[in-house]
Amino acid sequence: MMGRTIFIDPGRCIGCQACVSACRECDSHRGKSMIHLDYTDEGHSVASLPTVCMHCEDPVAPCAEVCPADAILVTADGVVQQADTTRCIGCANCVNACPFGVPKIDLQAKLQMKCNLCYDRTAYGLAPMCATVCPTGALFYGTAEELQAERPGVQIADTFTFGETEVRTGVAMVVPADKVQWPVPGGLPVVEINGKDVRR
């Protein structure tokens, strides 16, 4: 994908939950938020990190690969859609396959729910709801060139390792240029908290 996409800049997240609230307003899943706000060291630090679907490219969307009902489609431009409600059987294979822990099962509806990059908006050139309301730019929607022009000195990580497996994604993490380690281990960014590197 890596055209216009979301770039997650964890060093800018202030945990305000604006992205979570805005996600609930998306027409494709009104009332439910598909973004999760994680805390890197809960109880000891206020550092937080927005978690959205990483829209895996290589291998192609593990969640879609393990779906026995072919309910998870990938668009031509690389957006991994949430499960088609007419096909999803709520088996949770996708939940177990996702290395980033993104898909969730709505137990009442027996359906998979996840971020689809606000495809009803991004397909028409509009930014996803979460990125439009983020007050600090922790969620940036645009191209890599636009991001680096606005934030000189950052690098972009779109390749992550999980043991022996390497995953390349369509959504990227912003990593300080002097802290970069390729590929990023464990699929989580290098975060500096109070001058100390913390890796989840």
**pLDDT of 147-171, one tens digit each?**
999 998 888 989 988 888 889 999 9
Q: Which residue has the higher pLDDT, 182 or 121?
A: 121
**Exposed, middle or buried, 151 (CB in 10 Å: 0-12/13-18/19+)?**
middle
End-to-end CA distance of the chain: 26
Query: How many other CB atoms are found less than 10 A from the CB of residue 16?
Result: 15
Q: How confident is the model at residue 134 (pLDDT cuts 50, 70, 90)?
A: very high
Q: Helices then strands (H, E): number in the chain?
A: 6, 12
Residue 44's pLDDT is what? 86
Residue 21 has pLDDT above 80, yes or no: yes
Q: How confident is the model at residue 17 (pLDDT cuts 50, 70, 90)?
A: very high
Q: For residue 86, what are the contacts with CB-CB under 8 A and spacing of at least 6?
A: none
Closest CA to 171 of 124, 116, 104, 126: 116
Integer Cα distance of 64 and 158 in angstroms:
19
Integer Cα distance of 52 and 31 in angstroms:
17
**Cα distances (Å, whole numbers) of residue 65 to 21, 60, 97:** 30, 7, 9
Integer Cα distance of 192 and 90 in angstroms:
38
**Longest distance between any two alpha carbons in the chain, whole Å:** 49
Instruction: Kindly report which listed range (57-61, 65-69, 70-74) carries the lowest average pLDDT score.
Output: 57-61
